[in-house]
Amino acid sequence: MLNSSEPDLLAHTWNEGKTDSVVRFELNEDEGGARLTLRHTFDGEVEIPSYGSGWHHHLELLSAQVVGRPIGWDSIRFKELQSEYERRAQHRREAQLAQRRESVRKT
């Protein structure tokens, strides 16, 4: 545990994979309800699509629980999300490469 402040903050180390990281959950009031902000920061390189899709699905499970319709982990859903995160990451890498090529071409 790195930091906590009931009822609105929890931060802890996450030691899974090839690098250490910090996971931080914050609750803030938001239009008569609450907004949960999740930040996962890493010390080194990681497979962002895997972490992103995992957190995405965990938050879907939390949302279902909050509205009274709990669901279980769905490996198929996780793999669908992971594929989408990988597709978006590839698209972003390609766009960044195109920008670099364009800026080199202009010099």
What distances in angstroms separate CA 95 from CA 30, 52, 89, 100, 106, one per listed residue?
34, 20, 10, 9, 17
Residue extents of the structural domains in the chain: 1-46, 49-107
Rounded distance, CA 41 to CA 38, Å?
10
The model's pTM: 0.81
Rounded to a whole number of angstroms, the CA Rg of the chain reads 18
Rounded distance, CA 98 to CA 33, Å?
42
Is 43 within 8 Å of 19 (Cβ atoms)?
yes
Model confidence at 25: pLDDT above 80: yes
- pLDDT one-digit tens code per residue, 27-52: 999 998 999 999 999 988 888 899 99
